[in-house]
Amino acid sequence: MQQCLVIGRTNVGKTAFVLNFAEYLGLSRVEITFNYPDGFATKQVFRLEHARQELIGRGQHKTRCLQALEVEVPAGKSKKRILLTDSSGFSEGIPRDQALRQAAAQTLLEIKKAALVLHVLDASIPGAVGEVDRQIANYAETRGGYVILANKMDLPQARDGLQRIRSQFPKQLVIPISALYKRGFKEVKAIVAHNL
C-alpha cells in the first residue's frame, strides 16, 4: 500500500491534521498501528473524538513512533486505499533522549520510502521555518512527492507566516490549511489523489 507520510517539528499540528483529515475522508473510527523504531508494533482502535483527546497536543514525548492508519481517497470514479502516517516531531539539534533519537532516525528512513511527504509548518509562530525544516526540505525534495502544509491559518498571525514560508520555499508547493477547522483539506485531498 502506498504511504503518505506527515512530518514536521513538534507542536505544528501533525497529529491534528492526520486525525481530522481521516475524519474529513469519512472515518468515524480509526485503527492506528504504532510502529516503534525497534520493530515492535501494536494496533489500537479509537473513535475519532477519543483519538483527538488522547493523541493531539502530546508533543514529542508522547509520539515516539510512526502511527499509521488506512484511509480511502476518492480518485476519479474509484477509491485508493492508502496509509496515512503520523510521525514523531523533529526538534532542533540532536535529541538527548535515545528514544527520541531513534524515532527521528526512523522518520528519516521512512521519508525515503513514502510515496508522498507532507511537511507541516506552524504558520502562526515567528520561527515558522526552523533550521531543521530547511534541512528536511532539502533532504525530502530530492525524492519528488513533497508538499508543504502551512498550518494554523485560522490564527490571525498566520497570514504573515504564510508569506514568509512561501518566500523561503519559492519552488515548493505550499498549501495553507487549518488542521483544527479542516480548511484547505480539499486541496490536500486533490494532491494526495494525484500523487498516489
Chain contacts with ligand GDP (rule: CB under 6 A): 8, 10-16, 56-57, 59, 89, 151-152, 154-155, 178-180
Q: How far is it, in rounded angstroms, from Cα 19 to Cα 48?
A: 7
Q: How far is it, in rounded angstroms, from Cα 40 to Cα 37?
A: 7
CB of 58 to ligand GDP, least distance (A): 6
- Contacts with 62 (C-beta within 8 Å, 6 or more apart), sequence order: 55
Q: Per rule CB under 5 A, is residue 87 in the interface with Mg ion?
A: no
CA 182 distance to own-chain centroid: 14
CB of 109 to ligand GDP, least distance (A): 19
Closest CB to ligand GDP among 14 and 119? 14
CB of 77 to ligand GDP, least distance (A): 32
Near Mg ion by CB under 5 A: residue from 35, 63, 124, 178: 63
Closest CB to ligand GDP among 49 and 154? 154
Partners of residue 107 on adjacent β-strands:
none
CA 87 distance to own-chain centroid: 7
Closest CB to ligand GDP among 33 and 80? 33
Near Mg ion by CB under 5 A: residue from 9, 12, 15, 73: 15
**Helices vs. strands in the chain: H and E counts, helices first:** 7, 8
Closest CB to ligand GDP among 10 and 195? 10
Q: How is residue 2 written as a grid cell?
A: 502506498
What contacts 24+ positions apart, CB below 8 Å, involve 40-46? none
